[in-house]
Amino acid sequence: MTTAIEITDLRKSFGGVPAVDGVSLTVQAGTITGYLGPNGAGKTTTLRCLLGLVAPDSGTCLVNGRRYADLPKPITEVGAVLEATGFHPSRSARDHLAIMCAAAGLPRARVDEALGEVGLAHAANKRVGGFSLGMRQRLALAGALLGRPKILILDEPANGLDPAGIEWLRGFLRHWAHELGAAVLVSSHVLAEVEQTVDNAIIIAGGRLVRHGSIADLTRGEQQIRIRALGDFRPVLEGAGARVTEGPDGVLRVKGMSIDEVGRLALNSRVVLTEISEERYDLHRVFLDLTDARTEGAHS
């Protein structure tokens, strides 16, 4: 497998507040990686560092083994869409791409090819000012494809797409990665938008990596026991070797122990359990917990 994107211990703060706090990740050629997290998690800052738009405080960001700024002709190696804005409203989609092609020294034939690749051939002569957000997303994507890059970096590409558009995006990304061999890194704050598309998922919150792995492993989940206890049961569990996390609502989630073992431990230590059940700690749970924690933070 070829490593196309490699970020190592990336850190970036704004005004002393960390936006990205020690993130490391790799993306292999031929795979789609979802970079997931709630709003403000640090996704865009990571992608901006990767594209040389923001200078990291420390850490390295490499694409095809080099810093983006050191690539001889970046448009042919990396296609990026950070936000689908900045189009001249009175320009047609075709003219917009033609200007980009000319500026980058790419063959003019790529304009109509790229419009076709994103399903915008029918709107080639329409003024961008009349485009919907979804059409702008597609046009921005067409711009990123002009140089036939083997790395795609897309920030929230599903924003503004209707369900049919999201389905189209899934097929598009799979084709680009699985058939054309590109490495795709795609960010989203909506798990459902990307979970059927990505091969691997990386979840960040508060600038830190929370979970990462193949989507198959993450959605299969890990067994855990959910309990509520009267009294302080956590040290007892941890003393017995369990891994315990505590939700803002006082719910304890226990890993590394069966439900029977947790029940017996509570009995032996004379702790009253008011709730005990098994649940899977899967990707959805991770996301819900992150969202809960944020909501909690917002209210406190």
Ligand X SMILES: Nc1ncnc2c1ncn2[C@@H]1O[C@H](COP(=O)(O)OP(=O)(O)OP(=O)(O)O)[C@@H](O)[C@H]1O
If binding is defined by CB under 6 A, does position 32 make contact with ligand X?
no
* 43/212 with CB nearer ligand X: 43
Task: Print the SS3 string covering the chain.
Answer: CCEEEEEEEEEEEECCEEEEEEEEEEEECCCEEEEECCCCCCHHHHHHHHCCCCCCCEEEEEECCECHHHCCCHHHCEEEECCCCCCCCCCEHHHHHHHHHHHHCCCCHHHHHHHHHCCCHHHCCCEHHHCCHHHHHHHHHHHHHCCCCCEEEEECCCCCCCHHHHHHHHHHHHHHHHHCCCEEEEEECCHHHHCCCCCEEEEEECCEEEEEEEHHHHHHCEEEEEEEEECCCHHHHHHCCCEEEECCCCCEEEECCCHHHHHHHHHHCCCEEEEEEEEEECHHHHHHHHHHHHHHHHHC
If binding is defined by CB under 6 A, does position 37 make contact with ligand X?
yes
Give the per-residue contact string, 199-238, with ligand X (x = CB under 6 A; - = no): ----------------------------------------
Q: What is the closest distance, in whole angstroms, from the C-beta atom of residue 14 to ligand X in the complex?
A: 3
Stretch that binds ligand X, among 42-50, 78-86, 157-165, 170-178 (CB under 6 A): 42-50
Binding ligand X by CB under 6 A: which of 45, 137, 197, 200?
45
Q: What is the closest distance, in whole angstroms, from the C-beta atom of residue 247 to ligand X in the complex?
A: 22
Stretch that binds ligand X, among 39-47, 64-72, 160-168, 260-268 (CB under 6 A): 39-47
* 83/275 with CB nearer ligand X: 83
Q: What is the closest distance, in whole angstroms, from the C-beta atom of residue 26 to ligand X in the complex?
A: 19
If binding is defined by CB under 6 A, does position 42 make contact with ligand X?
yes
| Total chain residues near ligand X (CB under 6 A) | 11
Q: Which residues from 127-186 bind ligand X, rule CB under 6 A?
A: none
Stretch that binds ligand X, among 43-51, 55-63, 238-246, 285-293 (CB under 6 A): 43-51
If binding is defined by CB under 6 A, does position 25 make contact with ligand X?
no
Q: Which spans of this chain sit near ligand X (rule: CB under 6 A)?
A: 14, 19, 37, 39-45, 189
